[in-house]
């Protein structure tokens, strides 16, 4: 008799424990559900907030502008690369990249230094340099970079002078691009090597 009573009591205890866990689980589930709903309501409220809406619009605007800028930079790089490839392959003239009214600045000291319009550059710097060479300068591009409307090219040039000696120089050219053409250029080079070519070799037509 005692054994049966104990078993009954034990069963009631186990049943009570199971019921308690079930109740806790139910309550806990309700709490989680309520929390999720509150979070969702808060997110929906934030989505409707004028400040959040404005921030989202500004973010999307900047993302679109960034994408446009990257597209322009990539296109400008490809254009400049193609002009260099044509120059190297002797199928084009690198100076055709310039607009007619473009300015070209040669930095440093010595021969050819100054700021020129396109035709002035061709007449006063390019032609006299070519007249001192027996072979055309062959460019080897090390790298091309773009930042906004600016394209930077690091390249090596090599040719043979009229006196039979090699002419080698390393250049950094900076092109400010607009509508697929360069409207401004800055050339950085070894001025000493360039001046030596001009002083050593008499130009020949």
Residue-wise pLDDT tens digits, 142-173:
999 999 999 999 999 999 999 999 999 999 99
pTM of the model: 0.68
Say yes or no to pLDDT of 105 above 70: yes
Residues ≥6 apart with Cβ < 8 Å to 167: 133, 137, 157, 158, 159, 160, 161, 193, 197
Q: What is the DSSP letter of 97?
A: G
> If you average pLDDT over every residue of the chain, what do you get?
80
In the CATH hierarchy, which fold is given to the domain comprising 66-200?
Nuclear Transport Factor 2; Chain: A, (3.10.450)
Distances (CA, A) of 141 to 84, 87, 126: 8, 11, 19
Parse the chain into domains and list their residue ranges: 2-48, 66-200
Taking the mean position of all CA atoms in its chain, how far away is CA 52? 30
pLDDT confidence bin for 204, thresholds 50/70/90:
confident
Q: Is 149 helix (H, G, I), strand (E, B) or coil?
A: coil
Say yes or no to pLDDT of 6 above 50: no
Residue-wise pLDDT tens digits, 49-97:
566 556 556 555 555 555 678 899 999 999 999 999 999 999 999 999 9
């Amino acid at each position: 008799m005692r054994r049966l009573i104990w078993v009954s009591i034990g069963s009631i205890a186990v049943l009570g424990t199971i019921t308690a866990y079930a109740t806790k689980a139910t309550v806990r589930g309700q709490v989680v559900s309520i929390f999720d709903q509150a979070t969702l309501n808060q997110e929906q409220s934030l989505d409707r907030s004028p400040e959040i809406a404005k921030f989202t619009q500004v973010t999307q605007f900047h993302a679109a502008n960034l994408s446009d800028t990257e597209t322009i930079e990539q296109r400008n790089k490809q254009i400049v690369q193609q002009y260099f490839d044509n120059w190297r392959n002797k199928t084009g003239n690198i100076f055709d990249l310039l607009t007619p009214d473009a300015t070209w600045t040669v930095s440093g000291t010595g021969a050819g230094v100054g700021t020129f319009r396109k035709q002035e550059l061709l007449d006063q710097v390019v032609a006299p340099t070519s007249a001192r060479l027996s072979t055309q300068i062959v460019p080897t591009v090390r790298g091309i970079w773009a930042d906004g409307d600016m394209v930077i090219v690091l390249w090596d040039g090599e040719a043979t002078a009229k006196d039979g000696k090699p002419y080698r120089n390393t250049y950094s050219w900076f092109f400010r691009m607009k509508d697929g053409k360069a409207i401004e250029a800055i050339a950085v080079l070894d001025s000493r090597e360039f001046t030596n070519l001009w002083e050593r070799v008499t130009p020949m037509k």
